[in-house]
Structures are given as C-alpha cells and as structure tokens.
C-alpha cells in the first residue's frame, strides 16, 4: 500500500450536479432488494393477479366462441351454453379493459404492494439508519434531500413494477385486441371518452393512478422506515395505517352512519378515490358511499405527504448522531 | 509557540489560539475566505493563505448538552492527530467538518466553502469509525457506487475504484462480499472510498483500529506519503502510540473544547506547572532521594521497587542536577526514564486525570 500507486488521473471533467446522485442512491437501494429471493417470490405471487386479469379476457372470448355449440355437463350438473357463458361473463365482467378493470387491478394489486413495501422497507431505507450507511452518503457532495429523493425513487420503481407496468401491459392487450386502430387514424381520440380500451385518457389515468401510488407510498414508507428501521415495527405501523384506520373509518361511516368525511381516515381509500378520479370515474359512482369529495381526499394525502417530508427533514438533519 | 490551555480555563485556550503566532497548523489570525456556497460550483484550490479546514468559534448543542464549545481551529496540509476522552467532542468535530451536521454558532469551512455544501464535500474524504456496509455487496461494487455519488461518470468511477483498490491493497479481494471481510479489510475499503476523488482534506476516524501490524505500518506510510503530497489529514484515534508514530502534531479535546494544539514536546514544555514523573534506579537510592528532595523543583518521591519515582516541575533542571549528583556524590545510576511524556500522559495531565 503505497501512495506511489495513486496513479489515477486528475479529474478534468466537470462534476455532475448533486441531483444526479439520486440515481446511484436509488440503484443501490434497488440492488439490495432485488438480490433477495423473497422479493422475487412475492413479486411472482403478485403477478398471478396480473395473469388472471391478462388471461381473463381470453377466457371470456374462448367461452363465447367454444361453449356455444354443445350443452355442458359437469358430473350430474348439466347446463345450457348460454347460461354458462352468461355466468362466466358475469364473473369476469370487470376484465373488459374499461376503467373499471384498472380500478380493480390497482386496488387488488395495491394490496400486494403494501405487503411487499412493509417487508422491503427496512432493506430499502431502514438499514441505512441501522448500519449508519447514511453517514457514507452524506459525506459525499449531496444534501439530505438527494438521499430522500433517491430512496423515494427506489420505492417508486418497486410500486411501478407492481402496478403501473402490468397495468400498461393490460392496457396494451385490450387496446391492441381491437385492430381498428390500424386503419382508423381517429381511433384513439374518438374513443377518448375514458370509458373504453385504447383511450388516451384511460392511458393517462393509468399512469396518473400509478404515479399517485408511487409518490404517496414512497414518501410514507421512507418516512416510516427512517424512524422505525426494523421490519416488525414497520409492519405494525403499516397495518395500522392501511388496515386498522380503514376498519375504523368503515365502522364510523358505514356502521355508525357518521359523515362520509370520516372516511378520510382511511389512507388506502383516499388513494383509491384520487386514483379513480384519474381514471375518470364520477364521484357518485364510487362505492362504498358516501365518500368524501375528491379534493378532500387530495388534501388529506397532501397533508400526510408534507408531514412525512417534515419528519424526514428532521430525521436527516442530524442523522449521523442517531444510533 | 504551542497553543495550550487547561480544561479549567478553556476560554483562555481559544484566546491563545487566536493570539498565538502562526506556526504551521495553528496560526495567529484567521482570515476568512470569501464564502462560496453554491452547491454546483466546482471546488477550487485553496486561495493562498486560506486554511484547508477552518473552525471559527464553532459551537454545537444537542438539546441542553453542548457538544462543541467555541472551537477555533485551522488545519493546513499535514497530519494532525485528534485525541480526547469519550464524549470530549471529537466525533462532533469530525461530523461538523464532514458537513453532516451544522454548527449552531460559528462557521466551518473547507477550502473556503461552507462545510455542508457539495463544493466543500468534493474537497473532503471522510472515513467514519463504523464499518457496517451493505454486506451482500462486493467491495468493488460498493466503491463504484460511492464514486458515482461524487458525480463521476460510470467509466471514471470504475477507473478510480481500481486505482484506489490497488492503493489500499484490496484489488485481489475486492470481489468478495463485504460480509466476509475482516476488520482490517473493512478499514481499507473505508479508506478507499474516502480517497476515490483524491481530496485535499481527509478526515479519518480511528483508521488504524483493527488493522494487523503490517497493514498498520502500510497505512501509516500511506498517510505520511499523502501528507507529503500536500494533503491535510485529521486523524482521530485512541491508538495513541500509533498516533505518535504518525505525527507529533496533535489537537487535544476536552469537554467540547480544544484544550491544546501543537507538537507533543511543545505542549509538554508548557506543562511545567505539572510535575513530570521520572523513574530513577540507583545503587544508593536513599542518598539520591535525600539529595533530590532538597531541590525546589522536586515535589515528591515515591519508591517503586528498587527504583525511585521522582515528580519534578522542571525536568530539565532535574536532569542537570542528577548529572551533577552522579559526579559529586559518585552515584551509580542504573536506570533513568521519563514516564509521562507520551500522548497518554499529556492527555492525562490536560484532562485532569492520569494518562495511563
């Protein structure tokens, strides 16, 4: 070990701005998570739902074309093809590629996202505090905000991988199943009412819903994991936020008939409400009723995010002295 | 002229620091560089006369507890050891210098930039005490990621990673996961991440802890070579013997203040008020003790086996007198050594306790 071996060239280039550091920070966090087999197992499990949505429409098409000819007999149970197809269509009616399809998809897939984030929070964020790796980061030419953004970016990528990306595949599947777009130049704009496949508004709604989930969940997770660090406390808080408060809100509004604004306690409902607004749902059609207004849900989410960011600022201000 | 103050009157130390003439690390007057606080501005070489690291009347509180109290310190190229008991404020000082916490009062600047700005951190290599990393990662991958945080391109990050791995002697082991590294290997990787961008200022917190003797010797040689090449190194260490081998320029911290800065001998020389303990063994201990007790500077004599432990306020005078006694009284001195000239003992004196 001799200083004579210090032969790297003096840096002649210009430094990239500190903001660029968010990319390696996110990459490091993702690298930590993607190495874990448990993550891939959960990701594969989460994709089962996507596969159900993906092949559900094919199942419906197949049933409509193949079950029409002959009566169906399963054991002693015999039924007419029309009834079977009607039953099947009723079961998979939400898989037609409409806004309802994506509302259900985000809702179900979101539950899996919550589970994965609760388990991954300590790896993505908490370990930086537990092992004091933050000290290495903040000794580099970056500010705490860059670390926060980098971590949020990593969480956002996970959320998008689980929700937005599969949803876009579903959108493409439903959009492309109708080949009219090849010959009809007005195909996308003409169906822009937001209620059917191949609608630009629907596409924007899907991206908006995914971005909303990624933004809010990443800020909440990074804030929670930076204080709690370990997996178990994080799971407890996560369950309280997304399950306990949901039950409380349901009891207050549905059971005790309190005002619908009490549903603002339910963070997941707020996310769903704004997400469905992105998808173009009318407020009156959203169940369960009554629901708070869209702007009220947005305000609640915004307030939560601001509180989390303030807490993160406090957490990273004197971070190296935290044990 | 060293800068020195006792713990009991630490305020005097700061005055001494600012009033003392310039002699290397400490200087008489502090000329504040023109502040440049924009993050994206490239670091510039030190302006002539501006220190590499400057603490200007810096105070830091943790709630009601004061971590650093009116510290004024200037560091220029060279090695400075930072010593002090636990809770003396060493870590706070290093973290302030690393820009990880901000002072409540005063200013910390690196090469003229406020310490928490990106421009200042580009002039800084920080090697923290803890060595827990992302354990699944290889040393090489960890360094590449750290290099990218400096703003290097991916290619340049790889080149610098290889160069620093070679520098710290870890190139052949860099692909092993960090979890499999020994304490010494972790120290080397930490050092490598601090050297990636060839900074003018290195803050090293216990860099020799856990390194085997050969590695320790290599590290010391590396630090000295870096200092010769104009780097400024601030090394916090409890390994005081190693620190003595590395540098004789130390800053002693006590109760959140800089109690003394300078070379060991300089600091010791102003400790005349504190008796120096000297172990003397003679074939005529009783006669020697009687003669020494007659001296005004000797404040006490104890027996230590077949030797005497003499405490003197003026060791130079004592040594001269012992020489005279040897000749005049025909004494045979079998053994003579000073027991408390090491950093341990100086530290002990300054902090009001025993050094060892």
Q: Does B218 touch chain A (CB under 8 A)?
A: yes
| B303 contact partners, CB below 8 Å, separation of at least 6 | B285, B309
Query: Could you tell me which chain A residue has the CA closest to the CA of B103?
Result: A318
Token pair for B71: 């510290």
Q: Does A323 touch chain B (CB under 8 A)?
A: no
Contact B262, B4 (CB under 8 A): yes
Is the pLDDT reported for residue B16 higher than 80?
A: no
Confidence (pLDDT) at A185: 62
Q: Does A75 touch chain B (CB under 8 A)?
A: no
B184: chain A residues, CB-CB within 8 Å: none
Q: Distance (Å) from the C-alpha of residue B51 to the closest C-alpha of chain A?
A: 20
Is the pLDDT reported for residue B147 higher than 80?
A: yes
Residue A127 vs residue B232, higher pLDDT:
B232
Contact A286, A276 (CB under 8 A): yes
Over range B18-43, report the average pLDDT: 35
Over range B330-340, report the average pLDDT: 79
Q: Does A240 touch chain B (CB under 8 A)?
A: no
Contact A213, A275 (CB under 8 A): yes
Q: Which of B122, B169, B228 lies at the smallest CB-CB distance from A1? A: B169
Measured CA to CA, the distance from residue A118 to residue A139 in angstroms comes to 29
B136: chain A residues, CB-CB within 8 Å: 32, 35
CB contact under 8 A, B148 and A133: no
Q: Does A16 touch chain B (CB under 8 A)?
A: yes
Contact B225, A2 (CB under 8 A): yes
Token pair for A313: 């600022």
pLDDT digits (tens, 9 = 90+) for A9-61: 566 667 778 888 899 999 989 988 998 899 999 999 988 988 988 888 777 77
Is the pLDDT reported for residue B181 higher than 70?
A: yes
Residue for token pair 């905000």: A145
Of A93, A95, A107, A94, whose CA–CA distance to A209 is shortest? A107
Residue B350 vs residue A306, higher pLDDT:
A306
Residue for token pair 């002699």: B23
Over range B310-333, report the average pLDDT: 80
Q: Distance (Å) from the C-alpha of residue A230 to the closest C-alpha of chain B?
A: 16
ipTM value for the complex: 0.75
- B240 pLDDT band, cuts 50/70/90, is low
B95: chain A residues, CB-CB within 8 Å: 320-321
Measured CA to CA, the distance from residue A85 to residue A62 in angstroms comes to 10
Helix-strand-coil percent breakdown of chain B, rounded to 5?
A: 35, 25, 35
Confidence (pLDDT) at A8: 53
Q: Does A2 touch chain B (CB under 8 A)?
A: yes
**Percentage of residues in chain B having pLDDT higher than 90:** 14
Identify the weakest region by mean pLDDT among A82-96, A218-232, B249-263: A82-96
Sign of the four-CA dihedral A61, A62, A68, A72 = negative
Q: Which of B92, B136, B149 lies at the smallest CB-CB distance from A21? A: B149
Over range B261-289, report the average pLDDT: 76
Sign of the four-CA dihedral A16, A19, A20, A25 = positive
CATH architecture of B276-350: 2-Layer Sandwich (3.30)
Q: Which of B42, B163, B225 lies at the smallest CB-CB distance from A7? A: B163
Measured CA to CA, the distance from residue A37 to residue A23 in angstroms comes to 23
Contact A9, B197 (CB under 8 A): no
Query: Could you tell me which chain B residue has the CA closest to the CA of A31?
Result: B137
B39: chain A residues, CB-CB within 8 Å: 17-18, 141, 143
Q: Which of A6, A32, A139 lies at the smallest CB-CB distance from B121? A: A139
pTM above threshold 0.80: no
Measured CA to CA, the distance from residue A228 to residue B86 in angstroms comes to 28
Is the pLDDT reported for residue B343 higher than 70?
A: no
- A192 pLDDT band, cuts 50/70/90, is very low
Over range B191-213, report the average pLDDT: 87
Is the pLDDT reported for residue B353 higher than 70?
A: no
CB contact under 8 A, B226 and A127: no
Is the pLDDT reported for residue A193 higher than 70?
A: no
Over range B8-17, report the average pLDDT: 34
Residue for token pair 């040689």: B221
Q: Which of B40, B95, B219 lies at the smallest CB-CB distance from A320? A: B95
| DSSP three-state, residue B88 | coil
- B230 pLDDT band, cuts 50/70/90, is confident
Measured CA to CA, the distance from residue B17 to residue B71 in angstroms comes to 10
- A114 pLDDT band, cuts 50/70/90, is very high
Of A186, A210, A208, whose CA–CA distance to A199 is shortest? A186
- Rg (C-alpha) for chain B, rounded Å, is 23
Helices (H), chain A: 22-34, 37-66, 81-91, 99-121, 127-130, 134-138, 144-162, 164-177, 180-183, 187-190, 200-228, 231-239, 245-250, 267-279, 294-317
| B141 contact partners, CB below 8 Å, separation of at least 6 | A31
Measured CA to CA, the distance from residue A172 to residue A186 in angstroms comes to 17
Of B216, B251, B224, whose CA–CA distance to B236 is shortest? B251
Is the pLDDT reported for residue A90 higher than 80?
A: no
Confidence (pLDDT) at B233: 93
> Average pLDDT, whole number, for chain B?
77
Domain ranges of chain B: 3-123+199-269, 276-350
Token pair for B21: 């003439």
CB contact under 8 A, B101 and A142: no
Domain B3-123+199-269: which CATH class?
alpha beta
Over range B42-48, report the average pLDDT: 46
Contact B76, B54 (CB under 8 A): no
CB contact under 8 A, A10 and B153: no
Contact B60, B104 (CB under 8 A): yes
Secondary structure E strands in B248-322? 249-254, 257-263, 276-282, 298-304, 307-312
Q: Distance (Å) from the C-alpha of residue B251 to the closest C-alpha of chain A?
A: 22
Token pair for B91: 């870590």
Cα–Cα distances (Å) from B319 to A315, B272, B296, B297, B325, in that order, read 58, 14, 14, 11, 10
Sign of the four-CA dihedral B56, B62, B64, B65 = negative
- A214 pLDDT band, cuts 50/70/90, is very high
Query: Could you tell me which chain B residue has the CA closest to the CA of A146?
Result: B149
CB contact under 8 A, B132 and A132: yes
Token pair for B309: 């432990």
CA-CA-CA-CA dihedral for A127, A132, A134, A135, to nearest 10: -170
- B40 pLDDT band, cuts 50/70/90, is very low
Cα–Cα distances (Å) from A51 to A107, A167, A321, in that order, read 15, 11, 47
In chain B, the N- to C-terminal Cα span, in Å, equals 27
Sign of the four-CA dihedral A257, A263, A268, A272 = positive
Q: Distance (Å) from the C-alpha of residue A313 to the closest C-alpha of chain B?
A: 13
Of A223, A293, A305, A307, whose CA–CA distance to A264 is shortest? A293
Sign of the four-CA dihedral A306, A307, A308, A311 = positive
Query: HSE on the CB side for A234, CA within 13 Å?
Result: 26
Vertex B236, ends B231 and B237: CA angle to 5°? 125
Interface test with B, best of A10, A12, A18 (most B CBs within 10 A): A18
Is the pLDDT reported for residue B90 higher than 50?
A: yes
B130: chain A residues, CB-CB within 8 Å: 131-132, 135
Q: Does B152 touch chain A (CB under 8 A)?
A: yes
Q: Distance (Å) from the C-alpha of residue A225 to the closest C-alpha of chain B?
A: 17
Contact B1, B259 (CB under 8 A): no
Of B267, B191, B198, whose CA–CA distance to B235 is shortest? B191
Measured CA to CA, the distance from residue A308 to residue B296 in angstroms comes to 69
Q: Does A321 touch chain B (CB under 8 A)?
A: yes
Q: Does B215 touch chain A (CB under 8 A)?
A: yes
- B292 pLDDT band, cuts 50/70/90, is confident
B159: chain A residues, CB-CB within 8 Å: 8-9
Phi and psi at A147, nearest 5°, equal: -65, -45
Token pair for B20: 């003392």
| DSSP three-state, residue A98 | coil
Confidence (pLDDT) at A209: 95
Residues 16-35, chain B: which have Cβ within 8 Å of A? none
Q: Does B248 touch chain A (CB under 8 A)?
A: no
| DSSP three-state, residue B233 | strand
Phi and psi at A27, nearest 5°, equal: -65, -40
Q: Does A194 touch chain B (CB under 8 A)?
A: no
Residues 95-154, chain A: which have Cβ within 8 Å of B? 127, 131-133, 135-143
Q: Which of A15, A135, A318 lies at the smallest CB-CB distance from B128? A: A135
Of B245, B274, B223, whose CA–CA distance to B342 is shortest? B245
CB contact under 8 A, A141 and B225: no
Over range B288-315, report the average pLDDT: 83
Token pair for B356: 């060892």
CA-CA-CA-CA dihedral for B4, B10, B14, B16, to nearest 10: -40
Residue for token pair 């897939």: A109
pLDDT digits (tens, 9 = 90+) for A225-284: 999 988 899 999 999 989 999 999 999 999 999 999 999 999 999 999 999 999 888 888
Measured CA to CA, the distance from residue A98 to residue A86 in angstroms comes to 19
Residue for token pair 């749902």: A281
Query: Could you tell me which chain B residue has the CA closest to the CA of A317?
Result: B101
CB contact under 8 A, A8 and B160: yes
Q: Does B114 touch chain A (CB under 8 A)?
A: no
Over range A282-310, report the average pLDDT: 92
Is the pLDDT reported for residue A318 higher than 90?
A: no
């Amino acid at each position: 070990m001799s200083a004579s071996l210090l032969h790297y060239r003096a840096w002649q280039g210009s430094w990239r701005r500190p903001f660029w550091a968010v990319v390696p920070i996110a990459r490091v966090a993702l690298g930590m998570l993607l190495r874990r087999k448990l993550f891939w197992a959960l990701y594969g499990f989460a994709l089962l739902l996507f596969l159900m949505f993906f092949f559900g429409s094919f199942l419906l098409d197949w049933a409509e074309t193949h079950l029409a000819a002959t009566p169906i007999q399963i054991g002693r149970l015999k039924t007419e093809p029309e009834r079977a197809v009607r039953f099947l269509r009723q079961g998979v009616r939400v898989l037609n590629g409409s806004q309802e399809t994506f509302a259900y998809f985000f809702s179900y897939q979101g539950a899996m996202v919550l589970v994965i984030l609760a388990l991954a929070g300590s790896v993505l964020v908490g370990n930086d505090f537990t092992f004091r790796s933050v000290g290495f980061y903040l000794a580099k030419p970056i500010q705490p905000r860059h670390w926060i953004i980098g971590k949020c970016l990593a969480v956002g990528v996970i959320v998008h991988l689980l929700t937005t990306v599969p949803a876009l595949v579903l959108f493409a599947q439903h959009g492309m199943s109708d080949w009219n777009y090849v010959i009809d130049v007005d195909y996308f704009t003409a169906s822009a009412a937001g209620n059917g496949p191949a609608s630009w508004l629907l596409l924007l709604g899907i991206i908006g819903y995914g971005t909303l989930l990624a933004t809010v969940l990443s800020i909440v997770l990074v804030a929670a994991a930076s204080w709690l660090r370990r997996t178990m406390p994080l799971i407890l808080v996560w369950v309280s936020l997304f399950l306990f408060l949901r039950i409380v809100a349901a009891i207050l509004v549905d059971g005790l008939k309190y005002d619908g604004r009490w549903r603002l306690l339910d963070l997941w409902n707020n996310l769903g409400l704004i997400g469905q607004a992105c998808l173009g749902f009318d407020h009156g059609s959203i169940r369960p009723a009554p629901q708070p207004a869209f702007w009220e849900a947005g305000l609640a989410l915004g307030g939560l995010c601001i509180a989390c960011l303030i807490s993160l600022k406090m957490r990273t201000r004197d971070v190296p002295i935290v044990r | 002229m060293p800068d020195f103050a006792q713990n009991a009157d630490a305020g005097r130390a700061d005055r001494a620091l600012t009033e003392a003439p310039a002699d290397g690390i400490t200087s008489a007057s502090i000329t504040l560089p023109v502040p440049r606080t924009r993050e994206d501005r490239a670091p510039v070489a030190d302006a002539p006369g501006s220190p590499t690291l400057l603490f200007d009347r810096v105070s830091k509180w943790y709630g009601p507890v004061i971590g650093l109290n009116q510290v004024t310190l200037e560091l220029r190229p060279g090695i400075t050891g930072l010593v002090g008991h636990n809770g003396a404020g060493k870590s706070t000082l290093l973290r302030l210098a690393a820009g990880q916490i901000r002072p409540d009062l005063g200013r910390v600047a690196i090469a003229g930039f406020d310490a928490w700005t990106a421009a200042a951190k580009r002039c800084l290599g920080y090697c923290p005490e803890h060595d827990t990393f992302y354990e699944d990662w290889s040393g090489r991958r960890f360094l590449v990621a750290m290099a990218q945080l400096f703003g290097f391109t991916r290619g340049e990050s790889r080149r610098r990673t290889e160069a620093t791995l070679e520098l710290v002697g870890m190139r052949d082991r860099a692909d092993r996961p960090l979890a499999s590294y020994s304490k010494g290997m972790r120290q080397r990787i930490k050092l490598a991440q601090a050297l990636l961008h060839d900074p003018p200022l290195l803050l090293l917190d216990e860099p020799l802890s856990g390194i085997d003797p050969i590695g320790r010797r290599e590290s010391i040689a590396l630090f000295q070579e870096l200092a010769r090449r104009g780097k400024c190194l601030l090394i916090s260490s409890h390994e005081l013997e190693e620190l003595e081998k590395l540098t004789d320029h130390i800053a002693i911290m006590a109760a959140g203040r800089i109690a003394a800065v300078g070379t060991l001998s300089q600091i010791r020389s102003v400790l005349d008020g504190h008796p120096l303990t000297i172990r003397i063994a003679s074939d005529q201990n009783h006669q020697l003790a009687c003669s020494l007790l007659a001296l005004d500077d000797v404040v006490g004599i104890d027996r230590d086996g077949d030797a005497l432990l003499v405490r003197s306020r003026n060791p130079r005078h004592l040594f001269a007198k012992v020489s005279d006694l040897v000749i005049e009284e025909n004494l045979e001195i079998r053994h003579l050594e000073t027991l408390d000239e090491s950093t341990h003992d100086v530290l002990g004196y300054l902090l009001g306790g025993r050094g060892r």
